[in-house]
Amino acid sequence: MTDALAELTVPSRLLLGPGPSNVHPRVYQAMMTPVIGYLDPAFIQLMDDTQRPLRTVFRTENDMTMPVSGTGTCGMEAAIYNIVEPGDTVVVCQNGYFGTRMADMAKRCGAEVSLVEAEWGRIIEPDQVRQALKAAGRVKAVMIVHGETSTGILQPLEEISRIAHEHGALFLVDAVTSLAGCELLIDEWGIDVCYSGTQKCLSAPPGMSPITLSAQAMEVIAKRKEPVRSWYVDMTMLGRYWGGGTTRMYHHTPPMTMLYALREGLRIVLAEGLEPRFARHQRAARALAAGLEAMGLVLHAQEGYRLPPLTTVRVPESVDDMKLRQGLLQGHNIEVGGGIAALQGQVLRIGLMGYNATAGNVLALLLALETELAKQGFRVEPGAGVAAAARALAAQA
């Protein structure tokens, strides 16, 4: 006979990595709401109450706007698997890890993938997309990441969207890290398909993926030659549940506790206001950047195109990346991320997302980072990072 399972104990961390971010206390409180049936009239009302603010945050009037039951990767599958069929040609912009994942998914759908590539840490230039579309012939969709979490790049979208539509292609965007942290205008920018995640700037736990599809995208899905290869994320079937009014057709049992969390997260976003929220993220990111540079560190992402919720900074050659991050975690209870794939061991990824985008978190991290860098012999003028960040915060007040 085995011993009884011990009571769950998990440390409370300051999560300043690439996600998840810390959950807002009001979201935790909402998650204590009782579970009810998925066709209960009260739950149907909850679905409506979630879709309306989600459209506001996406800045769209799209009817097909809902959260998919699954993390951001599930949202990526929902976006790509519904649009792409065997034999299609798609253009995928690849300047980081998640662009690579997009290309992989499109290939699994049987598509011919034309890659538009840039160095990890630089944007995709519109002319690169234009040339790829000219060379590829008939293209079903252009896919791109708005806020590339692996590199810290914030990709401009408007001109690439225009180019995609000039060539008759849909425009598909990953906004997992940017939604509710950066300006994102679905309708104005002509984005046909866009998905995100709950665990970053929405300050909820991971587990749902907001998605929105234009009428043009839904028309493409309706004209598919074969059914969507994933039953679970088939948007036509999901639409009968999420868009069915009082006669919604059962599809799957949704994670209703996560829906409570998303609803409360959206309430918090809208109470703050989108523009003030974007300004708060920008203010925190600028203060962090000023502090890091004052410490003698080098920012990785292309200047002028840096993602406010996620900053990448080069790890000095004399510093052990793993020891640095372990020191921050064990000595200061702060989690930051390391580089992945092509940037493994080369950068730190520092997230200031949603609830975490505060001056206090910036200053706490810089002080802890100064301490841990000094342990490895990297010379930093005492207090230089904190002082520079404080000046930047004061200048933006």
Q: What is the pLDDT of residues 48-63, one digit of tens each?
A: 999 999 999 999 999 9
Q: Is the pLDDT of residue 247 over 70?
A: no
Q: Is the pLDDT of residue 274 over 90?
A: yes
Provide mean pLDDT across the span 209-224.
97
Provide the percentage of residues in the chain whose pLDDT is more than 90.
92
Q: Is the pLDDT of residue 155 over 80?
A: yes
pTM over 0.75: yes
> Confidence band (pLDDT; 50, 70, 90) for 186?
very high
pLDDT confidence of residue 244? 60
Peptide bond into 11 cis (omega under 30): no
Calculate the alpha carbon distances from 222 to 75, 128, 219, 239 in Å. 19, 31, 5, 12
Provide mean pLDDT across the span 158-178.
98
pLDDT digits (tens, 9 = 90+) for 33-49: 999 988 888 988 999 99
Query: Distance between CA 94 and CA 82 in Å, rounded?
Result: 21
- Beta carbons of 78 and 105 less than 8 angstroms apart: no
Query: Distance between CA 292 and CA 149 in Å, rounded?
Result: 19
pLDDT confidence of residue 248? 75
Residues of the chain with CATH 3.90.1150.10: 274-396
pLDDT confidence of residue 246? 56
pLDDT digits (tens, 9 = 90+) for 276-303: 999 999 999 999 999 999 999 999 999 9
Query: Distance between CA 28 and CA 8 in Å, rounded?
Result: 17
Cα atoms in the 13 Å half-sphere on the side-chain side of 132: 27
Provide the percentage of residues in the chain whose pLDDT is more than 70.
98
Query: Distance between CA 202 and CA 269 in Å, rounded?
Result: 7
Residue type, 297: L
pLDDT digits (tens, 9 = 90+) for 323-347: 999 999 999 999 999 999 999 999 9
| Short-list 262, 258, 266, CA closest to 35 | 258
**In the block, residue with structure tokens 């540079």:** 293
What does the mean pLDDT of the chain come to? Answer: 96
Q: Is the pLDDT of residue 128 over 90?
A: yes
pLDDT confidence of residue 54? 98
The architecture (CATH level 2) of 25-270 comes to 3-Layer(aba) Sandwich (3.40)
- Beta carbons of 233 and 76 less than 8 angstroms apart: no
CATH fold for domain 274-396: Aspartate Aminotransferase, domain 1 (3.90.1150)
Q: Is the pLDDT of residue 120 over 60?
A: yes
Residues of the chain with CATH 3.40.640.10: 25-270
Q: Is the pLDDT of residue 4 over 90?
A: no
| Short-list 84, 66, 62, CA closest to 75 | 66
Q: Any idea how long the chain is?
A: 397
Provide mean pLDDT across the span 2-9.
84
Calculate the alpha carbon distances from 65 to 212, 293, 328 in Å. 4, 41, 39
